[in-house]
């Protein structure tokens, strides 16, 4: 299943592809389909730039990049962008915003993971839900939260927010919460997405730096942290396993992460055969 808003596939001179990780190239068992690896290899061979664009901290995804031979990344839900070791964009969170979020989390019994360029800053080392979170996402560079890290935060995930609405946090209008679209975390883990710092803004910065028109850019995603990215590029592709709320922001839909979604999407766009 793959179509645009008119039920047709359009052809452009694609020059760059942005790929989300969890639920897009990475399956729930942490594996990557051979078809996905093949698709990436094929577009790279054609000279198309490939970026991984993720909410994850970049210091924890280098192995994935190495496996796919990808050297360019957008991390922390758009707060940091790097093209082949050249830094293109960095946007730290305001310290006051971080403190307010942490205060609200503590008040309501929630937990949080804050990400700097080198560390994952946890509000607790004894919380079972945080232990499960760090285990699932293979977060290794973990430290306990203290004031010394709060000025260097690039991204943040709130965890164990099961019984309280995200509106508890969304009062200033400076950010929104996006549910983490991963089995076991959808109902209680939320990424903090800033209005002026997100994957879409980072993609715009990358395209400007590389002098690529957005009409020649493709992006794949499955979660609401991908909505700005899919809206920014000429061909935004939502996975079949995407959160339903994401589909209006995508020009195309492809098959699921377990059914060659990236391969089929690139094939239908004419990037591979």
Q: Which residues lie across from 115 on neighbouring strands?
A: 120, 155
> How far from the centroid of its chain's Cα atoms is residue 103's Cα?
25
Q: What per-residue confidence (pLDDT) applies to 10?
A: 47
Please tell me whether residue 50 adopts helix, strand or coil conformation.
Answer: strand
Q: Are 213 and 264 in contact (CB under 8 A)?
A: no
Is 100 found in the same domain as 129?
yes
Contacts of 163 (CB under 8 A, 6+ apart): none
Q: What per-residue confidence (pLDDT) applies to 210?
A: 97
Q: How far apart are CA 32 and CA 151, in angstroms?
A: 35
Q: Are 105 and 158 in contact (CB under 8 A)?
A: yes
Query: For residue range 182-196, what is the model confidence (pLDDT) as tens digits?
Result: 988 988 999 999 999
Q: How far apart are CA 257 and CA 262, in angstroms?
A: 7
Tell me whether residue 44 is in a domain: yes
Residue with structure tokens 């990475």?
26
Is 233 found in the same domain as 178?
no
Is 185 found in the same domain as 134?
yes
Whole-number Cα distances in Å, 2 to 187, 199, 259, 265: 28, 23, 13, 7
Is 228 found in the same domain as 105?
no
Query: For residue range 196-252, what is the model confidence (pLDDT) as tens digits?
Result: 999 999 999 999 999 999 999 999 999 999 999 999 999 999 999 999 999 999 999
What's 52's domain CATH number?
A: 3.40.50.1000
Q: Which of 215, 212, 168, 181 is nearest to 72 (CA)?
A: 212
Q: Are 194 and 153 in contact (CB under 8 A)?
A: no
Is 26 found in the same domain as 49?
yes
Is 171 found in the same domain as 48?
no
Tell me whether residue 228 is in a domain: yes
Q: What per-residue confidence (pLDDT) applies to 172?
A: 76
Last residue of a domain, one of 146, 172, 194: 194
Is 129 found in the same domain as 144?
yes
Is 171 found in the same domain as 222?
no
Q: Which residues lie across from 180 on neighbouring strands?
A: none
Is 124 found in the same domain as 104?
yes
Q: Which of 228, 219, 235, 217 is nearest to 191 (CA)?
A: 228
Last residue of a domain, one of 177, 194, 211: 194
Range of the domain at 184: 95-194
Number of domains in the chain: 2
What's 106's domain CATH number?
A: 3.30.1240.10
Tell me whether residue 133 is in a domain: yes
Tell me whether residue 8 is in a domain: no
Tell me whether residue 189 is in a domain: yes
Q: Average pLDDT of each block of 10 consecutive residues along the chain (273 residues)?
A: 45 88 95 97 97 96 95 97 96 96 94 97 96 95 97 97 80 88 90 95 97 98 97 98 97 97 97 93
Q: What per-residue confidence (pLDDT) applies to 12?
A: 60
Tell me whether residue 273 is in a domain: no
Is 113 found in the same domain as 144?
yes
Tell me whether residue 137 is in a domain: yes
Pairing of strands 142-144, 155-159: unpaired
Would you mind telling me the total number of residues written for the chain in this entry?
A: 273
Q: At what angle do helices 261-268 and 34-45 cross, to 10 degrees?
A: 40
Q: What are phi and psi of 84, to 5 degrees?
A: 50, 55
Q: How far apart are CA 227 and CA 246, in angstroms?
A: 6
Last residue of a domain, one of 194, 209, 230: 194
Q: Is the pTM of this model over 0.85?
A: yes
Is 105 found in the same domain as 86?
no
Tokens, residue 179: 């549910």
Is 119 found in the same domain as 68?
no
In terms of Cβ atoms closer than 10 Å to its own Cβ (0-12, 13-18, 19+), residue 258 is middle
Tell me whether residue 151 is in a domain: yes
């Amino acid at each position: 299943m793959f179509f645009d808003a008119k039920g047709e596939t359009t052809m452009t001179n694609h020059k760059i592809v942005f790929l989300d990780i969890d639920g897009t190239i990475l399956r729930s068992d942490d594996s990557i389909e051979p078809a996905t690896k093949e698709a990436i290899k094929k577009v790279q061979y054609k000279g198309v730039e490939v970026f991984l664009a993720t909410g994850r901290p970049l210091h924890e995804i280098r192995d994935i990049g190495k496996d796919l031979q990808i050297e360019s990344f957008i991390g922390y839900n758009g707060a940091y962008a790097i093209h082949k070791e050249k830094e293109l964009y960095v946007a730290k969170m305001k310290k006051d915003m971080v403190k307010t979020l942490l205060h609200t989390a503590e008040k309501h019994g929630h937990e949080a993971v804050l990400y700097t360029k080198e560390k994952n800053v946890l509000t607790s080392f004894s919380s079972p839900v945080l232990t499960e979170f760090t285990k699932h996402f293979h977060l290794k560079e973990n430290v306990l939260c203290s004031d010394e890290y709060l000025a260097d935060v690039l991204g943040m995930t709130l965890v164990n927010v099961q019984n309280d609405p995200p509106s508890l946090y969304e009062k200033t209008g400076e950010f929104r919460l996006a549910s983490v679209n991963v089995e076991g975390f959808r109902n209680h883990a939320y990424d903090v997405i800033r209005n002026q710092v997100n994957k879409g803004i980072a993609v715009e910065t990358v395209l400007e730096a590389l002098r690529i028109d957005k009409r020649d850019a493709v992006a794949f995603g499955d979660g609401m942290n991908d909505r700005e990215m899919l809206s920014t590029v000429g061909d935004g592709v939502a996975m079949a396993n995407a959160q339903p709320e994401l589909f209006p922001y995508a020009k195309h839909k492809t098959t699921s992460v377990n059914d060659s979604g990236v391969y089929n999407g690139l094939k239908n766009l004419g990037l591979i055969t």
